[in-house]
Structure 1
């Protein structure tokens, strides 16, 4: 069944030291793959709020949204090339507040992963996890350099 309009989602990009919080999805899209925690934005909720809420629901980790990093289009097509599902994901940089990662909601596993492990592709990951991680690291450095 083809979707009529794009769906809005938010993903939380949380860095702690030289690690990033990743979650292994249990549902489509990307079931079994590792990526940033997140989900649907609810009516009346900003993507910043949704990133914070979904992060807590999926992993038990609390964080404060800092800023939008970028938007990511996720398009799933059938064999004829017709778009079946279209998600627009707002990637949100978040500051870690507390909590120990645990799998909850629609997540199989969650944990802190070393940057080098992500860059080396040692996990089966969703598209753009590495490039989004690098973007987040750059933004964190820029924000810390501000007077």
Structure 2
């Protein structure tokens, strides 16, 4: 399999997960570009043969060592970045999920420099990846038990 994440010939499909535990959501500071140091949801590329939810849960376990149960799909986010010449450097379509924490205490590693369980009040103070605020709003709505879209 070729890795065409940088200057891709087509959009890349990824999945992420907003893990909910006691009204808080798990965020990790990215350990690699793009967005290194920014807070985001654990996630990564979908592998051939995986469902979006399977990919999100696999990436969650690989990145931070947590197990969760998917509750539903949230609104997809697109990340498109162009270089100085206008060429597409990154184009990733991310399918975020809301999930209920099952087990494991999150651990930092190469892909997660820092980990935080955040409340809605914490959002304003964190440097985050583009589009994450709207995803977190959806996930916090689910965390409150309000399942209306």
Same fold (TM over 0.5): yes
2:141 corresponding residue in structure 1: 138
The answer for the alignment partner of 2:130 in structure 1 is 127
Question: 2:61 is matched with which residue: 46, 49, 56?
Answer: 56
1:98-137 Cα offsets, whole Å, 9 max, x none, are 111111341112221222111x2x1211112221111112
Structure 2 runs not aligned, ≥5 long = 1-5
Please list the CA deviations of residues 70-99 of structure 1 after superposition, one character each: whole Å capped at 9, or x if unmatched.
Answer: 111100111233222100100111111011
How many aligned positions are there?
Answer: 142
Q: Deviations over 1:45-69 (max 9, x none)?
A: 0110011111111111110112111
Please show how residues 43-82 of structure 1 align to structure 2 within 5 Å: 43-82=48-87
Gaps of 5+ in 1: none
**Alpha-carbon distance between aligned partners in 2 of 1:60 and 1:114, rounded to the nearest angstrom:** 21
Decide whether the 8 Å contact of 2:120 with 2:140 is kept in 1.
no
Distance of 2:141 and 2:24 partners within structure 1: 14
Report the Cα distance in structure 2 between the residues aligned to 1:76 and 1:42, rounded to whole angstroms: 22
How far apart, CA to CA, are the structure 2 residues paired with 1:107 and 1:42?
20
After superposition, where does 1:8-23 map in structure 2 within 5 Å?
A: 8-23=13-28
Tell me the TM-score normalized by structure 2. Answer: 0.87
Give the alignment's Cα RMSD to 1 decimal. Answer: 1.6
Q: Give distance in 2, aligned partners of 1:71 and 1:90.
A: 5
Q: Does 1:93 align with 2:98?
A: yes
8 A contact 1:101–1:112 mirrored in 2: no
Instruction: Find 1:5's aligned residue among 7, 10, 32.
Output: 10
Describe the SS at the equivalent of 1:142: coil
